[in-house]
Amino acid sequence: MNRKDLFFAAIALAVLGVFIFLTVIGRKPAPMSARNEHTGLTKTTSRETCLPCHAPDSTIAPMGPRHPKKGRPPDEMSCFKCHKPPAANVAWLKQNERGSSSWLSRRRG
């Protein structure tokens, strides 16, 4: 094996290594935000629940231009296949001096 062959093999391995590295660190989907609108969503929630706000033509919070599925009809996959659902909220019932009660949520903002 001469010097040119070794040089070629080193470059080929470097290029292959770069592609493997880029595949491993690929773009991950964003987790769902812990907003009041997302309360009660679970992994079994249908995607039709998400599309009124997140359809590509929605004015509220449309899917980004880089979203792989863009909500097209052949796509029957659940949103939770990629996106992690928000954490379940914990709330407490507080009674005040007058005997009435109110719910206190841990989430702020």
In-domain check, residue 87? yes
Q: pLDDT category, 74, cuts 50, 70, 90?
A: low
**105 or 94: which carries more pLDDT confidence?**
94
What integer is the mean pLDDT of 33-39?
Answer: 77
Q: Which domain holds residue 72?
A: 32-105
In-domain check, residue 45? yes
In-domain check, residue 69? yes
Residue found by looking up tokens 């206190």 in the block: 104
The pTM is what? 0.50
Q: How many domains does the chain have?
A: 1
In-domain check, residue 42? yes
Query: Of 22-31, 43-52, 66-75, 90-99, which one has max mean pLDDT?
Result: 43-52
Structure tokens at 36: 């009041």
In-domain check, residue 83? yes
Q: pLDDT category, 109, cuts 50, 70, 90?
A: very low
In-domain check, residue 18? no
- Please name the residues in contact with 50: beta carbons below 8 A apart, sequence gap of 6 or more: 79
What integer is the mean pLDDT of 23-46?
Answer: 78
Single out the residue of 76, 99, 87, 100 nearest to residue 35, CA to CA: 87
